[in-house]
Amino acid sequence: MSQDVLTLADRLWRGEVSTATMHPVDHIGGFVEITDGVGFTPSFANVSAFATDDGLVLVDTGSLPLAPVVHRDIRGWSEARLNTAIYSHGHIDHVFGVPVWEEEARAQGWKAPEVIAHHALPARFDRYIFTAGYNTIINRRQFGFTDLNWPTKYRYPDRTYHDTLDLSVGGVDFSLRHEKGETDDHTITWQADTKVLCCGDLFIWASPNAGNPQKVQRYPREWADALRRMLALEAEFLLPGHGLPVVGADRVRQALTDTADLLTSLVDQTLAVMNAGGRLDDAIHSVSPPPELEARPYLRPVYDEPEFIVHTVWRQYGGWWDGNPATLKPAPERALAAELAALAGGPVVLADRALELLDQATDGASDAGTAEQALRLAGHLAEQAWLANPADTAVQAARQRVFSARAERATSTMARGVFTWVANESVDGGSEATAPHTH
């Protein structure tokens, strides 16, 4: 399996395999020794392992359901106790493996592992506890996990740091540095002797997760700065939080540079719209990533999308208002929908027009841009019809058809998750419009 992981990584880099089919946010499994004393298991999320004379050091520990699998994979490589676990950040797919190792330590009579993280991470866990219901809903929607229940018990770190931390374990030295990007609590881990850089989710073989529509603030400009600081390390191995290893100094340099340039371009374009007095709508429909960067095999919009990053930039620098005076103090959505439906001749008229637009988008005669615009308009009209009368079966059917088509055409996990959820909600007859049904 070791050779398979590296062979697959090479094929992905060359574009011989697509991240649309070999998705970076998935469990691949297996184990590969990247270089002497450094192992890597591609999971959901990845775990990197360093052998020392005083036990293992892990960067990230895996998700709750896959933690035993990760443990078994690493145990096939080393029987040493776990000395230290470093959280790259506090997302739950990265931090739930420690109890498996602690249970083993108790059974073997070993000293328990120490957990290290950035000082902002405990506040994330606190927030997760008091927003558990919300996180259950949005993560079911995003990933389609109908049985997911957001956890309320966490393994907090034993030790935190602020800016940097130099760590020595069993004769092996590690340099930890705080960065902001996907989260405000990211840690990158650098092992200079092996030239191995563990970057967490600051690189994930996809367009950066800097615009997630259902999650808290991301930091795209700071993210780009972090990637450029990583360049100075001249790493030869990049071990990401998701996706496969990037091997070779030239490839690592290219991956970090391209990702930074993509983010910088999106930030600068969005700020230009804001500084010229434009609205969020102007930015959404005028900002676009450099085509040569979006086409990179490791920057395809298979998880997040550049369009969503525009929203993140707007929220970070401009607040929550989109510049439309009607949305500053809006009417209730259902009241507006009822008024528009009445003017149009009823909700079914809106639904029928949505289906006409859907047919235009899918008949094959329209170019991609025209088809996309028709699909977006169809989504607006189908939703307005449903808000006006969610119990109407014809309206439900139209909404289901429109958003099923939108899900089918979506490239990203996030868009596909939302559109699929809406399509399923429509089939259920609107009963879930006001009650949660389901990161």
pLDDT reading at 364 higher than 90: no
Of 216, 231, 262, which one is at a domain's C-terminal end?
Answer: 262
Task: For residue 298, tell me if it sits in a domain.
Answer: no
112 CB contacts (<8 Å, ≥6 apart)? Answer: 102, 105, 106
Task: For residue 362, tell me if it sits in a domain.
Answer: yes
Q: Give me the half-sphere count of Cα atoms (radius 13 Å) on the Cβ side of residue 103.
A: 8
The CATH number of residue 397's host domain is: 1.25.40.880
Domain count, the chain: 2
- The predicted structure's pLDDT at residue 427: 76
Of 201, 227, 262, which one is at a domain's C-terminal end?
Answer: 262
Model confidence pLDDT, tens digit, residues 77-134: 999 999 999 999 999 999 999 999 999 999 999 999 999 999 999 999 999 999 999 9
- Does a cis peptide bond (omega within 30 degrees of 0) precede residue 342? no
Residues 256 and 351 grouped into a single domain: no
Percent of the chain with pLDDT strictly greater than 70: 97
pLDDT reading at 436 higher than 70: no
Tell me how far apart the alpha carbons of residues 370 and 404 are, in angstroms, rounded to a whole number. 19
- The predicted structure's pLDDT at residue 366: 77
Residues 152 and 246 grouped into a single domain: yes
Give me the DSSP letters along 90-104: --TTTB--HHHHHHH
- pLDDT (average), residues 259-275: 98
SS3 169: strand
Residues 208 and 338 grouped into a single domain: no
Task: For residue 133, tell me if it sits in a domain.
Answer: yes
Where residue 428 falls among pLDDT bands split at 50, 70, 90? low
Tell me how far apart the alpha carbons of residues 354 and 326 are, in angstroms, rounded to a whole number. 24
Model confidence pLDDT, tens digit, residues 13-43: 999 999 999 999 998 888 999 999 999 999 9
Domain span at residue 381?
332-427
Residues 228 and 338 grouped into a single domain: no
pLDDT reading at 260 higher than 90: yes
pLDDT reading at 434 higher than 80: no
Of 237, 262, 287, which one is at a domain's C-terminal end?
Answer: 262
Task: For residue 286, tell me if it sits in a domain.
Answer: no
- The predicted structure's pLDDT at residue 438: 31
Where residue 430 falls among pLDDT bands split at 50, 70, 90? very low
Contact, 285 vs 376, CB < 8 A? no
- The predicted structure's pLDDT at residue 146: 87
Over the chain, what is the mean pLDDT?
Answer: 95
